[in-house]
Amino acid sequence: MRDYARRILLRQGHKVIEAASGRQALPLWRQHRQEIDILFTDVVMPEGVNGLELAHQLHTESPGLKIVYASGYSADVAGANFTGRQGLDFLAKPYLPNDLVRIIERMAADLK
């Protein structure tokens, strides 16, 4: 799914900085923090840092960061509550390319 999402977003002209896990995302965040406006993360990830933990840490460091969570589970089952939380969104897997593009572009428009 990560490669699928990357290809979709690149085709739409978005810059993508990709990590295979939350643990791998942390050094990329430190290196590219000023370039990152939107975090698109799976809720469940390997290597001990899940998407919820990653998003919380990055959002604490950068409160304006927009976050889009993806999961094969519903938001309730994944343990995430997005109701009424501005700057957050949830995308259920499997998703269609248009669904991903719509959410990311809506988030990007909010940044302008």
What band does 44 get if pLDDT is binned at 50, 70 and 90?
A: confident
- Partner residues linked to 88 by β-bridges: 67
85 has pLDDT over 80: no
Residue 47: what pLDDT? 83
The amino acid present at 21, given as its one-letter code, is S
Of 5-14, 43-52, 72-81, 93-102, least confident by mean pLDDT is 72-81
CATH code reported for the domain at 2-111: 3.40.50.2300
- The reply to whether the predicted model has a pTM over 0.85 is yes
Q: Where are the domains of the chain?
A: 2-111
Distance in angstroms (rounded) separating the CA atoms of residues 3 and 14: 14
Dihedrals phi, psi of 62, to nearest 5 degrees: -140, 85
The amino acid present at 64, given as its one-letter code, is G
59 has pLDDT over 60: yes
Residue 75: what pLDDT? 63
